[in-house]
C-alpha cells in the first residue's frame, strides 16, 4: 500500500489519532511495537492560526516516528487551508483532515463528523487544502451523520476526485458515537467500488489479531487503523503482525514486561513534557498497563497520586515483583472484554 510515494508495505497497521492519548511518548511506544504509520493528536485549525501554545506544541514530530501525519480539524474553509500550510511547514509526511470526530462540542460547530451534514463544504475544503500543500492529503471520516445519511460510497468518490491520496473510514455514524458494533460492510463497498483507486483504510472494533485478519480478508481493505484497543495495550501491533506471520497468537506479555514498558513510557513522557505535566498525563496509561490485576486498588491509588518519578518507578517495580507469577493472559482477556479506561475526553476519530 502506498500513500503518494510513501510505501507502507502489505496490510499496514495505523495508530489512530486520539486526543490526550497519541502524544509523542505514546507514539514512541507504539512505534517500537510495529505501528506502520501514526498521527498526531488532532489539531484545531483555529488554534494553529492563533498560534495557541497547545496547538503549536502538537506539531512537534520526531524522525523515528516516520511516516507520520498531522491531523487537522475545523469548520471554516480559510482557517483550515491556512492551518494546512502551517502544518506542512512542520514537515510531516501527510496532512490528514478530520471529518470523523463525533464529540458534541466539535460536531455541533460543523467540524469533525459535523461536516457530514454539509458535504459540498467538506469536498470544497478538501479540494482547497489539496491545492494549498505539496504533501499528500488524506481524510478520516465516518459512514454518515446518522442512519438516514450513510452516503460514504458517494462521498468517497467525490473526495478522491478532488485529490486525496487515502481515505480512512470509521464504521459508525456520528449519531452512534462509539455505541453498537462498527459496520464494515459499507467500508467494503467503498473499497470494492470499481471507481475507487486510492487506498481505503478500515477503522472500528479491531481489538485482536483474529479480527484484524478477518477484516483484511473479508473486506479487502488496504490497511487497518487501530484506536481504543491500543490504549493500555500498545503491543497489539506486534500481536497482529505475529499472527499474520505465523498463524499463531503471540504469547501474552508478562507483568514484568508490562512493568518495564510502563517505566519506559513514564520516563519518555517526563523527557518530552517535563515534570509534573509528564506525570499527570501518564496516569491514565499507568493504570491501564496493569488492568485486571487482583487486589490492585492501593497500588492504583499510588500510581494516580504520586508526583515523584522515582517513587512511581519503585511502585511499578513492586508490581512486577508482587505479580511475578500472575497469568498475564487472564489479565489481557479481561482487559479486552471490559475495555480500557479512557481519559475524560474520548478519541476524536
pLDDT at residue 332 in the model: 53
Let me know whether 161 and 277 are in one domain. no
Q: Residue 36 phi/psi, 5° resolution?
A: -80, -35
Let me know whether 277 and 166 are in one domain. no
What does the pLDDT look like over 228-263, one tens digit per residue?
Answer: 999 889 999 999 999 999 999 999 999 999 999 999
pLDDT at residue 51 in the model: 87
Q: What are the DSSP E strand ranges found in the chain?
A: 2-3, 6-7, 13-15, 38-39, 43-44, 68-73, 94-99, 137-142, 167-170, 200-203, 223-226
Of all residues in the chain, what percent are helix, strand and coil, respectively (each to 5)? 50, 10, 40
Domain-located, residue 347: no
- Using DSSP bridges, classify how beta strands 223-226 and 200-203 pair: parallel, antiparallel or unpaired: parallel
218, 246, 274 — which closes off a domain? 246
Let me know whether 267 and 235 are in one domain. no
Give the CATH number for residue 197: 3.20.20.70
What does the pLDDT look like over 298-315, one tens digit per residue?
Answer: 999 999 999 999 999 999
Domain-located, residue 225: yes
Domain-located, residue 344: no
Q: Report percent pLDDT > 90 for the chain.
A: 76
Domain-located, residue 349: no
Let me know whether 133 and 261 are in one domain. no
CA-angle at 115, arms to 114 and 116, nearest 5°: 90
Calculate the average pLDDT of the chain: 90
Let me know whether 11 and 30 are in one domain. yes
Domain-located, residue 183: yes
pLDDT at residue 284 in the model: 83
197, 213, 246 — which closes off a domain? 246
Closest CA to 239 of 202, 220, 211, 203: 211
Instruction: Say whether pLDDT at 175 is over 90.
Output: no
30 is catalytic: no
Domain count, the chain: 2
Let me know whether 169 and 142 are in one domain. yes
What does the pLDDT look like over 21-36, one tens digit per residue?
Answer: 899 999 999 999 999 9
Q: How far apart are CA 111 and CA 99, in angstroms?
A: 7
What does the pLDDT look like over 313-325, one tens digit per residue?
Answer: 999 999 999 998 8
198, 213, 246 — which closes off a domain? 246
Let me know whether 11 and 153 are in one domain. yes
Q: How far apart are CA 146 and CA 177, in angstroms?
A: 10
* Global confidence as pTM: 0.90
Let me know whether 86 and 177 are in one domain. yes
pLDDT at residue 111 in the model: 86
Say which range, 157-161, 233-237, 290-294, has the weakest mean pLDDT.
Answer: 290-294
Helices and strands of the chain, counted as H and E runs: 16, 11
pLDDT at residue 328 in the model: 57
The range of the structural domain enclosing residue 268 comes to 255-338
Domain-located, residue 112: yes
From the candidates 101, 135, 206, 226, give the one annotated as an active-site residue.
Answer: 101
pLDDT at residue 327 in the model: 67
Domain-located, residue 345: no
Amino acid at each position: 500500500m502506498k500513500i503518494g510515494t510513501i510505501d507502507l508495505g502489505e496490510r499496514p497497521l495505523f495508530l489512530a489519532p486520539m486526543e490526550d492519548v497519541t502524544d509523542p511518548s505514546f507514539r514512541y511506544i507504539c512505534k517500537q511495537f510495529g505501528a506502520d504509520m501514526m498521527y498526531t493528536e488532532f489539531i484545531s485549525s483555529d488554534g494553529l492560526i492563533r498560534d495557541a501554545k497547545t496547538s503549536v506544541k502538537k506539531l512537534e514530530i520526531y524522525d523515528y516516528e516516520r511516516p507520520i501525519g498531522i491531523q487537522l480539524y475545523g469548520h471554516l474553509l480559510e482557517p483550515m487551508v491556512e492551518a494546512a500550510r502551517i502544518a506542512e511547514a512542520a514537515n510531516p509526511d501527510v496532512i490528514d483532515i478530520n471529518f470523523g470526530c463525533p464529540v458534541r462540542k466539535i460536531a455541533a460547530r460543523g467540524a469533525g463528523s459535523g461536516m457530514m451534514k454539509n458535504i459540498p463544504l467538506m469536498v470544497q475544503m478538501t479540494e482547497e487544502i489539496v491545492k494549498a500543500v505539496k504533501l499528500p492529503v488524506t481524510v478520516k471520516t465516518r459512514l454518515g451523520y446518522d442512519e438516514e445519511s450513510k452516503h460514504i460510497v458517494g462521498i468517497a468518490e467525490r473526495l478522491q476526485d478532488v485529490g486525496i491520496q487515502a481515505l480512512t473510514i470509521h464504521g459508525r455514524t456520528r449519531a452512534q458515537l462509539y455505541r453498537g458494533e462498527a459496520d464494515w460492510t459499507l467500508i467494503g463497498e467503498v473499497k470494492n467500488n470499481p471507481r475507487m483507486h486510492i487506498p481505503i483504510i478500515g477503522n472500528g472494533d479491531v481489538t485482536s489479531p483474529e479480527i484484524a485478519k478477518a477484516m483484511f480478508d473479508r473486506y479487502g481493505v488496504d490497511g487497518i487503523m487501530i484506536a481504543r484497543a491500543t490504549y493500555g495495550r500498545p503491543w497489539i501491533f506486534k500481536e497482529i503482525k505475529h499472527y499474520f506471520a505465523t498463524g499463531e497468537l503471540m504469547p501474552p506479555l508478562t507483568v514484568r514486561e508490562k512493568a518495564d514498558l510502563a517505566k519506559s513510557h513514564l520516563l519518555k513522557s517526563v523527557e518530552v513534557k517535563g515534570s509534573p505535566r509528564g506525570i499527570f498525563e501518564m496516569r491514565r496509561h499507568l493504570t491501564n498497563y496493569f488492568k485486571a490485576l487482583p487486589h490492585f486498588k492501593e497500588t492504583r491509588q499510588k500510581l494516580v497520586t504520586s508526583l515523584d518519578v522515582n517513587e512511581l518507578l519503585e511502585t511499578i517495580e513492586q508490581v512486577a515483583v508482587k505479580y511475578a507469577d500472575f497469568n498475564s493472559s487472564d489479565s489481557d482477556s479481561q482487559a479486552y472484554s471490559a475495555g480500557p479506561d479512557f481519559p475524560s475526553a474520548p478519541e476524536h476519530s
